[in-house]
Amino acid sequence: MDEKDNPFDMDSSSFDADRYLEKLLKDCSLKQIMDTEAAVVKDTQTLHSDMQTLVYENYNKFISATDTIRKMKDDFKQMETDVNLLMNKMQSITTFSEQITGTLQGTRSQLCRLSEKHSLLKRLQFLSTLPAKLKALIEEQNYAQAVQDYLHAQKVFAQYGRQPSFDGIKRDCDAIMEELKERLRQDFQSAGNTAQSLTEIGELLLQLDEKTSDLASEMLRCAGKRLHEQIVMLQDQTERDMLEFVDMGIDGFLNDLALVVTSYFDMFVAKHYEHERDDFQENALNALNIFLNENVDKYLTLVQDRVESDIGYGDTQVMLRALDRLHRRLQAMRNICRGLQVQRNTLDIIIGAAHQLCDAHSKSLKDHFADSLSAVRLSLVSAKSDVNLSELIGNLYVAMVEKIKGVLQDLMIFLRSDWSFNIKAENKGALCVEGIREHLLIGFLRHISKVMSGFADVSSSSPPNLLLVLSKTCLELEQQGVHMLIALVDDLYEIDSENSATLTHETEICAEMRETAQALLDSYVRLQGTNISQMLRKSVETRDWLNCLEPRSVRAVMKRVVEELGSIETVLASLYESAGNAGFRTTASSDSSRKTYFSNFNASKPQYRSNWSNYTPSQLESSYVSNIHRLFSERVDIFTSVEFSKASIVMGIIKIGLKTLLECVRLRTFSKFGLQQIQVDAHYLQMNLWRFVSDENLVNFLLDEILGSAVHRCLESVLMEPNAVEIICERG
Amino acid sequence: MEENNLIYGLELQARALTPQNGESNDVCFFIATNSLKPTNQLHLLQYDEEQGTIQSKIFEHALGEVWKLNSCPHDAHLLASVYNVQKGAQVLTQAALLTLPTNDSRDSNNAEPIKSEYIPWAKIEVLETAELGERVKTVEFHPSQEQTLACVVGNKLAVMQRAEASTRVVAEVSSGTSGTSGTKHLSPFTSGKWSHHHQGHQFLALHDTSIRAYDVRDTQHCAWSIEDAHGQFVRDLDCNPNKQCHLVTGGDDGCLKVWDCRMVKGPVFERSDHSHWVWSVRFNTFHDQLILSSSSDCKVLLTCAGSVSSEAPGTDGGDAIATGGLQERHKVLSDGLLQTFDQHEDSVYCAEWSNVDPWIFASLSYDGRVIISKVPKQYKYQIIM
């Protein structure tokens, strides 16, 4: 409901008195109506009195306003007369002023003329004294001032050159300046000037209208000469260290070069010359470029020569610091000369140095390796038999690894983060870093492997223990060293070799090392086997087996063979722990005093024929027995690779020895006692060899073959009683 | 390979095998036993390729156990054997020339009732070697002079002229040259062979680890020598029939080496595929790139030394003077081990090519097993095609 339209609100404009009354009468009680009437009457009275008060107040105000207006009217009239008076006075001032100006006019123009004349006179005086002044200035060598004065006068001459009096002065000046020019030119060309003065003279000459292009080329020529002198001077500084050398170069040569280049740039390239051809600037820039590169080239070649002669001898750090400084300087120079390119980079020198250092280190590593090898060899040859082999190996191995580590650390210097250069950022540099891995480390490891393989060659007459030492060293490298070193280099130089196609993988080197270790070990086995063979062969060949007496003892050679094997085993035991199946072996034949050998075949083991001790004489008569046994036995390879375990190595040696014995026995003819001697010997070997090997069946098989062959080669094959053999053998 | 082999067994140990050099049609080999039992035998094996069988004729070798056999290249019926004889408390090694009966006489013998199981010899001629020494090592027929024999006895080398019944000692290793062991133990010659070249004037003798070539026209004239040819004993040698100055040796170091006697510093070819001593080495007469070697590791190896053979490209064809049959150039296989034959169960002391068929060879192991094998077909075809 709209409030405004409420017809029952007395304050609203749409108040309807009739309806209000109607509503009142309808809705309210009498009492209420009477109350309402009283209220309305009261209200009406209040409103009425209010209205009267307001009207009265307004009336008062109106009367006071009328009074004020009347007063103002009077004041304005007085002011008007004052203003009129002021106007008249001003007019009289103006007329006076005009009168004064008119009288002073003439004097002022005179003054102007006088001052003009004065300056002209001054200039004339300057001109007339100019030649003398120039001379004086030149005497004082204040060339700059002289040139400035002359140039100043030049303008005047240009203006008034026609007059004869000036002409004389001009000629004098020109002559003097010509002389000055000549002198400047001489200075320009004469040696011994710093680049600074060269630049100054250049600028003066330029102001004296020297031909720009000539001057430009002349400047470069002279600067070139001067820089060349510096280079020559630097060349002689061989006794200074690298840092001083580079500092000198930077202070002298490079600063001069930078000065020449910047002034040349400012003088010829940055400015535009009207009277020169359009492409002058371009040509000048080109010439400057060539000049700059030529000189930087010369200098860097000098530095490079120096680096090449120093690397590997002096302190690498000092040199790198010097090169770093140089690199910074050149970098700065590159920034100065915008529009110019310095082709050659110090980085190349640094990379070259790195390469060279690598080579030097590689060589020193190889030398060191050769030295330590000969040291090992010497100590093996010279010392008594009780050399501690594992100590030797340890020394050789540790020395080698430490040396490599040292070298790797040493080369790290190239990658120090506080150098301003970053080798790895450039392709060549990255290759160089990889080269450290490939050529230095891998190359050296390969070298080790190759040199060591050389010892494994049959023809080389190395002491057997040397082969053993080298083999073990290779093995150690294969198992730890290679991995450790390659991980180290990858880590230090942050090379990701795992994912690289070009880098040599660790396993390749490991394989090579293992191969070498194997070859050396095989060579050792052959060598020792041959020594044993030689003893056995001599013993069989030199004896008269037909006419020997009944055996009473084991032949001395057999004891020597066993002793020899014993000492070999002792040596081996210090290097190789006995194989894992040692426990099995001891259980199989721990009873060394057993009376007869009985076949105790393990189902899983290869079966070797080994029961000659059970032969009856009738069996011995038939070669079929051995042939049938042979069918079920495995072939025995004699000259084969052995495993890296004590038992396998000794077994390899024993095999070679016993096979030799077999072949020698087959070439001889035996009497009864000869055969029995062989029987005794074989039994002795059987009693003693089992403890060296893991598979005594193989030994027994070979001994069976020997005795079997001896039986075949015997004129009267009667074997001794096993008990008797036993007794002889135990007697020793 | 299995079908390529044919096995023939002896009951006794054997160390002697030789092809029947004088025979030119059939593939024939002699073998002889090496047993102290009195009944040593000599078998003549004839290999029939079509039927794949071996026919054997058995002779008795009553003289003793046979250590070495050589057959005469000029007379198919003649062969020389070196055998042991027991004399009191001593064993002597002697040599004899044996002559086979001709076919006619054999036929007539056949007609008679068999008195023994053995075919008798036509002639047995024991060589006079007692003066030379107790240990005959080998008797070698001269390759071109029918009546000339070379005999290596102990530390002496003698040339015999059968027609004149004369014997001349050509060379002798004296104690002075053979090191420190003194007179008590002289290391004797091991074996020897005639050189195919030098007009038959050179005899190659093996001594310890060295090879020495003696000019038989002059006493004690050593033409050239290879010292320390092998790390240990040199067991056998063979001359390349088609390439002058080339010879192959095998030794106790398990190596097989081909030498050029003009360059004695080092071998021109070397392999060490054997795992024990090499007892015999042979060039194939027709294709000298093939080398057969046998060893006490129970294996026979066929090795190719193509790069140093007369068939190698770049070598002068004029080298092939000994055989006129090599007009066309054969293909050369790549160097290395071609094939291992490991059917033997014991040390193989002899392996010999057939003198008739270039693709057949025989090998003999100590247990008396003879195996006649062929060069595997793929290599054969590679060479001839």
pLDDT 10s digits, A632-669: 556 667 767 777 888 888 888 888 888 888 888 888 88
Cβ neighbours of residue A724 under 8 Å, at least 6 residues apart?
none
**What local confidence, expressed as pLDDT, does residue B106 receive?**
47
Task: Kindly report the nearest CA distance between residue A652 and chain B, in angstroms.
Answer: 12
Distance CA A90, CA A409 (A): 103
**What local confidence, expressed as pLDDT, does residue B273 receive?**
83
pLDDT of B53 > 60? The answer is yes
**What local confidence, expressed as pLDDT, does residue A631 receive?**
54
Top pLDDT among A46 and A351 is at A46
Residue of B nearest to A636 (CA): B297
- Say which of A541, A546, A714 has its CB closest to residue B91: A546
pLDDT of B215 > 50? The answer is yes
Interface mutation target, options A457, A544, A625, A637, chain B, most CBs of B under 10 Å: A637
* B107-126 mean pLDDT: 64
SS3 category, B97: strand
Q: B345, A663: Cβ pair inside 8 Å?
A: no
With beta carbons less than 8 A apart as the criterion, state whether A319 and A241 touch.
no
Q: What does the pLDDT look like over A366-384, one tens digit per residue?
A: 888 888 888 888 887 776 6
Residues in chain A, overall count: 732
Interface of A with B (CB under 8 A): 458-459, 530, 541-542, 546-547, 623, 626-627, 630-631, 635, 637-640, 659, 663, 666, 669, 671, 712-715
Write the DSSP symbol of residue B244: T
Distance CA B109, CA B115 (A): 10
Mean of all residue pLDDT scores within chain A: 75
Q: B345, A630: Cβ pair inside 8 Å?
A: yes
Task: Kindly report the nearest CA distance between residue A354 and chain B, in angstroms.
Answer: 43
With beta carbons less than 8 A apart as the criterion, state whether A546 and B91 touch.
yes
Q: How confident is the model at residue B330 (pLDDT cuts 50, 70, 90)?
A: low
Q: Tokens standing for B235?
A: 């067991």
Of the given ranges (A90-104, A254-268, B71-85), which has the lowest mean pLDDT?
A254-268
In terms of DSSP bridges, do strands B278-283 and B269-271 run parallel, antiparallel, or are they unpaired?
unpaired
Task: Kindly report the nearest CA distance between residue A314 and chain B, in angstroms.
Answer: 46
Which sign does the torsion angle of CA A232, A235, A239, A242 carry? positive
DSSP codes joined into one string, A198-223: HHHHHHHHHHTT--HHHHHHHHHHHH
Q: How confident is the model at residue A591 (pLDDT cuts 50, 70, 90)?
A: very low
- Say which of B185, B255, B366 has its CB closest to residue A542: B185
Q: A627, B367: Cβ pair inside 8 Å?
A: yes
At residue A546's C-alpha, the angle toward residues A540 and A551, to 5°, is 75
SS3 category, B247: strand
Q: A635, B298: Cβ pair inside 8 Å?
A: yes
Top pLDDT among B311 and A363 is at A363
SS3 category, B160: strand
Q: A630, B296: Cβ pair inside 8 Å?
A: no
Distance CA B188, CA B178 (A): 9
Interface mutation target, options B183, B272, B276, chain A, most CBs of A under 10 Å: B276
Distance CA A516, CA A396 (A): 16
Q: B297, A639: Cβ pair inside 8 Å?
A: yes
Residue of A nearest to B184 (CA): A542
DSSP codes joined into one string, B72-85: -SS-TTEEEEEEEE
CATH tag for B229-385 (out of 2.130.10.10, 3.20.20.210, 1.10.3720.10, 2.60.40.1760): 2.130.10.10
Give all strands of the β-sheet with B66-71 in edge-to-edge order: B66-71, B78-87, B90-99, B123-126
**What local confidence, expressed as pLDDT, does residue B292 receive?**
92
**What local confidence, expressed as pLDDT, does residue A338 receive?**
60
Residue of A nearest to B254 (CA): A639
Q: Which residues in B lie closer than 8 A to residue A530 (C-beta atoms)?
A: 231-232
Residue of B nearest to A547 (CA): B89
Does any CB of chain A come closer than 8 Å to the CB of residue B208? no
pTM over cut 0.90: no
DSSP codes joined into one string, A540-579: HHSS-SSSPPPP-S--HHHHHHHHHHHHHHHHHHHHSPPP
**What local confidence, expressed as pLDDT, does residue A276 receive?**
65
Give all strands of the β-sheet with B222-226 in edge-to-edge order: B189-194, B202-207, B210-215, B222-226
Q: For residue A243, how far is the Cα from the chain centroid?
A: 21
Q: A715, B298: Cβ pair inside 8 Å?
A: no
**What local confidence, expressed as pLDDT, does residue A121 receive?**
86
Q: A420 to each of A327, A358, A424, A648, how far by Cα in Å?
A: 7, 21, 12, 58
At residue A486's C-alpha, the angle toward residues A480 and A487, to 5°, is 85
Does any CB of chain A come closer than 8 Å to the CB of residue B13? yes
- Say which of B36, B232, B345 has its CB closest to residue A715: B36
In terms of DSSP bridges, do strands B210-215 and B202-207 run parallel, antiparallel, or are they unpaired?
antiparallel
pLDDT of A630 > 60? The answer is no
Q: Which residues in B lie closer than 8 A to residue A635 (C-beta atoms)?
A: 298, 342
Task: Kindly report the nearest CA distance between residue B335 and chain A, in angstroms.
Answer: 21
SS3 category, A506: helix
Q: Which residues in B lie closer than 8 A to residue A458 (C-beta atoms)?
A: 231, 253, 255
DSSP codes joined into one string, A708-732: HHHHHTBSS--PPPHHHHHHHHHH-
Task: Kindly report the nearest CA distance between residue B276 and chain A, in angstroms.
Answer: 6
SS3 category, A131: helix
At residue A196's C-alpha, the angle toward residues A192 and A200, to 5°, is 105
Q: For chain A, what is the total number of helices (H) and then of strands (E)?
A: 25, 0
Neighbours of A329 (CB within 10 A): 20
Does any CB of chain A come closer than 8 Å to the CB of residue B345? yes
pLDDT of B374 > 80? The answer is yes
Q: B274, A639: Cβ pair inside 8 Å?
A: yes
Distance CA A355, CA A357 (A): 5
Q: How confident is the model at residue A721 (pLDDT cuts 50, 70, 90)?
A: confident
In terms of DSSP bridges, do strands B360-365 and B369-374 run parallel, antiparallel, or are they unpaired?
antiparallel
Q: Tokens standing for B372?
A: 């006649």
Task: Kindly report the nearest CA distance between residue A697 and chain B, in angstroms.
Answer: 18
Distance CA B320, CA B125 (A): 36
pLDDT of B327 > 50? The answer is no
* A438-451 mean pLDDT: 82
Q: How confident is the model at residue A105 (pLDDT cuts 50, 70, 90)?
A: confident
Q: A669, B91: Cβ pair inside 8 Å?
A: yes
pLDDT of B266 > 50? The answer is yes
At residue B235's C-alpha, the angle toward residues B230 and B237, to 5°, is 90
Residues within 8 A of A (CB atoms), B 87-116 only: 89-91
Q: Tokens standing for A171?
A: 């000629």
Residues within 8 A of A (CB atoms), B 159-188 only: 185
**What local confidence, expressed as pLDDT, does residue A602 receive?**
33
Distance CA B333, CA B325 (A): 19
Q: How confident is the model at residue B281 (pLDDT cuts 50, 70, 90)?
A: very high
With beta carbons less than 8 A apart as the criterion, state whether A554 and A684 touch.
yes
Does any CB of chain A come closer than 8 Å to the CB of residue B368? yes
pLDDT of B21 > 80? The answer is yes
Task: Report phi then psi at A292, rounded to 5.
Answer: -60, -50
**What local confidence, expressed as pLDDT, does residue A572 receive?**
82
Of the given ranges (A100-109, B105-114, B311-320), which has the lowest mean pLDDT?
B105-114
At residue A402's C-alpha, the angle toward residues A400 and A404, to 5°, is 70
Does any CB of chain A come closer than 8 Å to the CB of residue B346? yes
pLDDT of A702 > 80? The answer is yes
DSSP codes joined into one string, B184-242: TSPPPEEEEEE-SSGGGTEEEEEETTEEEEEETTSTT-EEEEETTSSSS-EEEEEE-TT
Give all strands of the β-sheet with B166-172 in edge-to-edge order: B136-141, B148-153, B156-161, B166-172
Distance CA A544, CA A548 (A): 7
**What local confidence, expressed as pLDDT, does residue A590 receive?**
38
Question: Which of these, B246, B22, B237, B262, lies nearest to B143 by C-alpha position?
Answer: B22
SS3 category, B318: helix
* B52-63 mean pLDDT: 85
pLDDT of A429 > 80? The answer is no
Distance CA A665, CA A675 (A): 10
Which sign does the torsion angle of CA A22, A24, A26, A27 carry? positive
**What local confidence, expressed as pLDDT, does residue A274 receive?**
65
Top pLDDT among B175 and B367 is at B367
Top pLDDT among A143 and A20 is at A20
Residue of A nearest to B233 (CA): A534
Task: Kindly report the nearest CA distance between residue B334 and chain A, in angstroms.
Answer: 24
Task: Kindly report the nearest CA distance between residue A522 and chain B, in angstroms.
Answer: 12
Q: Which residues in A lie closer than 8 A to residue B83 (C-beta atoms)?
A: none
Q: B347, A635: Cβ pair inside 8 Å?
A: no
Residue of A nearest to B274 (CA): A639
Question: Which of these, A353, A361, A289, A291, lies nearest to A326 by C-alpha position?
Answer: A353
pLDDT of A612 > 60? The answer is no
**What local confidence, expressed as pLDDT, does residue A384 receive?**
60
Question: Which of these, A632, A642, A644, A628, lies nearest to A606 by C-alpha position?
Answer: A632
Q: Residue A29 corresponds to which amino acid?
A: S
Q: How confident is the model at residue A289 (pLDDT cuts 50, 70, 90)?
A: confident
**What local confidence, expressed as pLDDT, does residue A504 receive?**
76
Q: What does the pLDDT look like over A521-561, one tens digit per residue?
A: 888 888 888 888 888 888 888 888 888 888 888 888 888 88
Residue of B nearest to A460 (CA): B231
The label of the residue with tokens 């050789």 reads A396
Does any CB of chain A come closer than 8 Å to the CB of residue B36? yes
Distance CA A698, CA A648 (A): 12
Q: How confident is the model at residue A610 (pLDDT cuts 50, 70, 90)?
A: very low
**Helices A17-27 + A30-139 axis angle, to 10:** 130
Q: What does the pLDDT look like over B148-159, one tens digit per residue?
A: 888 888 888 888
Q: Where are the alpha helices (DSSP H) in chain B?
A: 103-111, 377-384
* A376-401 mean pLDDT: 76
With beta carbons less than 8 A apart as the criterion, state whether A646 and A572 touch.
yes
At residue A497's C-alpha, the angle toward residues A493 and A498, to 5°, is 140
**What local confidence, expressed as pLDDT, does residue A608 receive?**
39
The CA-to-CA distance between both ends of chain A, in Å, stands at 143
Q: B91, A623: Cβ pair inside 8 Å?
A: no
Q: How confident is the model at residue A314 (pLDDT cuts 50, 70, 90)?
A: low
- Say which of B253, B298, B347 has its CB closest to residue A663: B347
Task: Kindly report the nearest CA distance between residue B145 and chain A, in angstroms.
Answer: 32
Q: Residue A121 corresponds to which amino acid?
A: L
In percent, the amount of chain A with pLDDT more than 90 equals 1
Distance CA B4, CA B6 (A): 7
Would you kindly state where each structural domain of chain B is located, as residue ranges? Answer: 229-385
The label of the residue with tokens 């790390």 reads B231
In percent, the amount of chain B with pLDDT more than 90 equals 5
Cβ neighbours of residue A729 under 8 Å, at least 6 residues apart?
A554, A680, A683, A684, A687
Q: How confident is the model at residue B183 (pLDDT cuts 50, 70, 90)?
A: very low
Task: Kindly report the nearest CA distance between residue A344 and chain B, in angstroms.
Answer: 52
Q: A627, B345: Cβ pair inside 8 Å?
A: yes
